[in-house]
Structure formats: structure tokens, C-alpha cells
Amino acid sequence: MSDQTDFSADVVIVGSGIAGGHSAFKLAGRGVKTLVLEAGPHLTRFEAVSNFVANPEKGPNAPYPPVAYAPHPVDGKEDDFYVQGGPDQFVGSYTRILGGTTWHWTGFADRLRPADFRMRTDYGVAEDWPISYEDLVPHYEVAEKMWGVAGDPDYDWGSPRKVPYPQPPIPSSYMDQQVDIGLKKVGLQSRIFSHARNSVPFDGRPPCCGNNTCVPICPIQAKYDGSVHTLKAQALGARIETKALATKILVGADNKITGIEFQRPDGSKATATGKIYIVACHAIETPRLLLNSKSEQTPNGVANSSGTVGRYLLSQANQDVWGLTKDPVYPYRGPQQTSGIIEFRDGAFRSKRAAVGTSFMNDGWSGNEDAVKLAGDLARQGYRGHKMISALREQMARHLRLNSSAETLGNPDNRIELDETKLDSAGIPRPKVYFKMDDYTLTGLAYAVDASKKVFEALGVADIKTNTPYLSSAIICGTTRMGTDPKTSVVDIHLRSHDHPNLFVLGTGAHLTAPVNAPTLTVAANALRASEKILEDLDKI
């Protein structure tokens, strides 16, 4: 953390994750004086891995304990962070550390499909984005090269390519190959996913060695995360202030942003000033900051003349099918997901039911906690010592789970607000979340789950189990949507606020859809695209 008291720059960025880090990297590389405010600490990988090993809970945030000055959701205790407005429990998980939430992401490096941008035109549901797939292609290509994306040269997941993936594919697992036997019997197919993890050495990072802890942490950083280019931006001259929680955006009489107030862990406050400001702190913290910045000039919060900040919250709905196979399939090897079914991800059916991504879970029934849970069950049955070890090996080798994730549609009633009566440990109103899964989503999910059961039956799994639909902890989109009409959207096609000419709002909040191809690469592409507009604006100032 810098000892300087002058927090001025050409561009001030709130958030050091994918959006903020990529923008900082591009701007600093062009000689722009750039300041990044990060609410959380700079955690080393050694510290994070040590936290994970020591934490009896093994969920997404196990390596990243929240700090009082910058709290975030805790696994299994989401209701201590979110005020639940219902009817469905919202469990969105994110981190507040240098590099952001991709520290614990799966690592899917997917582009969105062309149809994902034109759902209203193609399928008569949702809304079309004001930009097209083609608008993002050159920026997708740059981001893929920056990350070193590994992918199948013979399959593009419905997103047409002009250049090949930068790296060879991550191979399918033995378990994937066994699932394929069942797929063929029911007329379905799978393909290998594209990954933001090295299949060969790249950029000073090693290839994946199959630790199978991608969520919550890759211990060797074979998996790409936002800290890579945030720290590259720092090496290019960007200034990064960690432990600097942005609390309020200041607005002048001309509606231009004049500063960002932030506070330190000791409660002291300072103000960062610049010519252009970027808010890029994910789809929960971004609207929290905007809504918390009410003033006489902005009575509804910053960038919120439309009243849509916090609205149109998007996620995905998940459901699992699992059971014990007759013969070992050997999960817990390689990345946690390497292959998935291709048929349910796009097509004319999306006019009636949601697209669904069904993945083969190399992390068994419930991920990193499986061994702990099974050991507890066996202990209660009287197993001890070598007998328990043998039973663990025999059963866990036959754990098979397919996970289906269905897209949700934009709904203004699915939203976050600030609960002024409940403050978090940093003194900021907690987010109150209202969310309801719609029939479109549940119908798509039911279709995919039924297909998964048929695959299990084809594989001879006798005791097939499933759970009820639940919201994803990984996908959080919407809340600062992109559009051409200032009355119904927060940012324009360049991710510039309709209300404030020197404010850009980046990240998944701008997305109008949350399809099954993961959103992170699109965040990076849009951040790079917006940075070009910012550079143009700086030349005019």
C-alpha cells in the first residue's frame, strides 16, 4: 500500500478484477496515469492455499476469509451478508481481494454465442443487446491471447472463430470418456470445454497438473485469474491502492464525477480524483456503490436517473443428478469440469425453454468436501483405520455427478436494493436481494435433468439422486444494464453512464442475458473495448 496522500490520476478505477485490471493494463500501457482502488487486501497464493487447507469448509471462498473493512459473502452463511427478499435464496459468491473473483472461478473461457446477443430477434424472449457478437470478436481475440486460452481446434461451442485457440485443448478425463458411453446410448454428444488454464507453459505460468481444486483455488496458477493483468498493469505504472473501500461517488453541478471517497481499515477517509472514472466492482458491489452515492444532485443514486440500477439481476439455476457407478470412473482428477453435453445450449427451443449447460463434474458429488462428508458417514457406521481408507477409495472412485445450469431471463423485479436498517461490518448498507426463478428457466432445467437421468440409467447407475433447483453461486449479472435508451438502461454501448459523461461502469452488470457460455471473457472483451473509448475521450480533454 502506498504512503502517498495524493490520490489523483487521469483515470480512477474502482475494482481490480477482470474488468478493472484489463482496463488498467490497457490504459497504463498507453501511458495513462491510472489509479486502482481495491477494497480488499493483496493476498499471496501461499496465504490463500494455506487458508484453504486450514478451513474445514471447502466452498468457493474458503481461501479468502472476509475482512471487516471489506466484507463479502461467506460459504454457507450467505444470509449473514445478503438480506433475503425472496422468494428464492440468492447465494452469489464473490471475493474482495486484488485480482477479484476469478481467483475462485471455474476457468471457463467461453465467448457468448451470436444468438445470446439477439434473443428477442431470434427467439422472441428477453431483449437484444445493443451490440452484436461481431462487435466483440476482435476484443475476444485479444483477451484470449492475453489469457492463453486452451480449446478444441475442431469445436467452437457455437461461437464462430477466425483464429484458432492460442493453446491446445485440456484433455478430457477418464470419467468424461465413461460418460460418453452413456451419452451415445441416448443419442447425445459431448465436447471438451475451452479453458483459461494452461495446457502448455505460458506467460511464466505452468500447465495444469490436475489438482482438482480450481474452485476455490489453483495452487500453481495454471488457471488464469484477474491478478495476472492487474499486476501487469502495476508493472506498467498503474498505482494500486489495496484496503481502499470506495464508499461514495461525488458528482458536480455539471453532472460530471468529481471524485471517489474511500475509507481505510482504520476508518480514515480520502478522496481519489481523476478526469475519467471507472466503476468495476462486480454486479453486487457496483450497484451498492452507485445507490449508496445519493446526494442532492443524484437523489436516486449515481447513474440511476432510469431507476434501473440494481434491477434486472441475472443468475443461473442449477440442479444436480448423482449416483454410484458400477465400475470406477475415477473423478477428482484434472480440472473440475472438462466436458459437457452440447445439445441443450442453443436452438429454436429457446423460444419456450431455457438454454442449459450440462457438465460432467470431475469433482465428484460435492467437490472438495466429499471426502470429509463420506469419512464422517463411514465413521458413524463404525469404520476406522485401513477399513475406512479402503471404503473411501472404493466409493469415491465411483462418484458420478452431472450438473445442469439454466439461463434466467431479465426481470426488473429481480433486483438488489440497499437495506438502510442493516449495515455490514464496514458501515455500508447491506444488499437486499429479491429473486424468483421463472417457468422458462425451470422448464429448461427439468428437460436437461431428465436427460441426465437417462444417461445414468444407460450407464447402469441404480440409485439415482437429484436435488431441487437452486441458484448458482458463480453467475451474477445484470444490475447496470447496457442499452441505447437512457430511460431503461444505465450505460450506453461503450459502457459509459447515460447520466455522467466521465463515468464508465464495467463488468457483468452490463449484460442483458446470462446464457450458459460463461460471462467472464465477455467482461474482458468489453473492458478492452471501453478502454479504447476512454483513450479517445482523454485525447479530447
* Measured distance CA(321)–CA(465) in Å, rounded: 6
What is the pLDDT at residue 254? 95
As a whole number, mean pLDDT of residues 369-377 equals: 87
CB count within 10 Å of CB 321 equals 24
* HEC letters along 77-136: CHHHCCEEEEECCCCCCCCCCCCHHHHHCCCECCCCCHHHHEHHHHHCCCCECCCCHHHH
Query: For residues 482 and 163, what is the distance between their CA atoms, to the nearest angstrom?
Result: 28
Whole-number Cα distances in Å, 495 to 130, 199, 502, 534: 11, 33, 11, 10
Sequence length of the chain is 541
Rounded CA-CA distance 309/480 in Å is 5
HEC sequence for 294-320: CCCCCCCCCCCCCCCCCECCECEEEEE
Handedness of CA 47, 244, 281, 433 (dihedral sign): positive
DSSP assignment letter at 325: -
Q: Report the distance separating Cα 436 and Cα 471, nearest Å.
A: 10
Residue type at position 536: E
Cα gap 449→463, rounded to integer Å: 15
- Reference 175, options 357, 336, 358, 362; nearest CA is 362
Q: Which residues contact 492 (CB under 8 A, 6 or more apart)?
A: 130, 482, 483, 484, 498
**E strands in 146-298:** 190-192, 239-241, 245-251, 257-263, 269-272, 276-279
Kindly list the domain boundaries of the chain, sorted by start residue. 11-52+60-68+91-540
pLDDT, average across residues 179-185: 98
Provide the 3-class DSSP secondary structure of residue 361: strand
- Contacts of 162 by beta carbon, 8 Å cutoff, 6+ apart: 137, 141
Residue 1 is predicted with a pLDDT of 45
User: In this predicted model, what pLDDT tens digit does every residue of 271-327 receive, in sequence order?
Assistant: 999 999 999 999 999 999 999 999 999 999 999 999 999 999 999 999 999 999 999
What is the per-residue pLDDT across 184-195, written as a single tens digit (0 to 9) for each? 999 999 999 999
pLDDT value at 2 more than 70? no
- Write the DSSP string, 139-174: HHHHHHHHHT-B--TT--TT---SS--SBPPPPPPH
276: its cell numbers = 475519467
Q: Looking at this protein, which amino acid is placed at residue 523?
A: V
CA dist 490 and 509 (Å) reads 10
Whether the CB-CB separation of 483 and 130 falls below 8 Å is answered with yes
Question: What are the tens digits of pLDDT across the range 247-274?
Answer: 999 999 999 999 999 999 999 999 999 9
At residue 520, the pLDDT reads 98
Distances (CA, A) of 239 to 15, 149, 413: 12, 28, 39
User: Which element (helix H / strand E) includes 321?
Assistant: strand 316-324
Q: What pLDDT is attached to residue 39? A: 98
For residue range 124-176, what is the model confidence (pLDDT) as tens digits? Answer: 999 999 999 999 999 999 999 999 999 999 999 999 999 999 999 999 999 99
**Model confidence at 3: pLDDT above 60:** no
pLDDT at position 5: 82
User: How high is the mean pLDDT of the chain?
Assistant: 97
Report the top-level CATH class of 11-52+60-68+91-540.
Answer: alpha beta
The mean per-residue pLDDT over the stretch 50-73 comes to 95
C-alpha–C-alpha distance, residues 536 and 229, integer Å: 22
pTM across the whole model:
0.97
Q: What is the pLDDT of residues 209-262, one digit of tens each?
A: 999 999 999 999 999 999 999 999 999 999 999 999 999 999 999 999 999 999
Rg of the Cα trace of the chain? 23
Cβ contacts of 361 within 8 Å, gap of 6 or more: 320, 331, 336, 337, 367, 401, 402, 403
pLDDT band at 27 (very low <50, low <70, confident <90, very high): very high
Q: What is the pLDDT of residue 274?
A: 98
Burial bucket for residue 401 (CB in 10 Å: 0-12, 13-18, 19+): buried
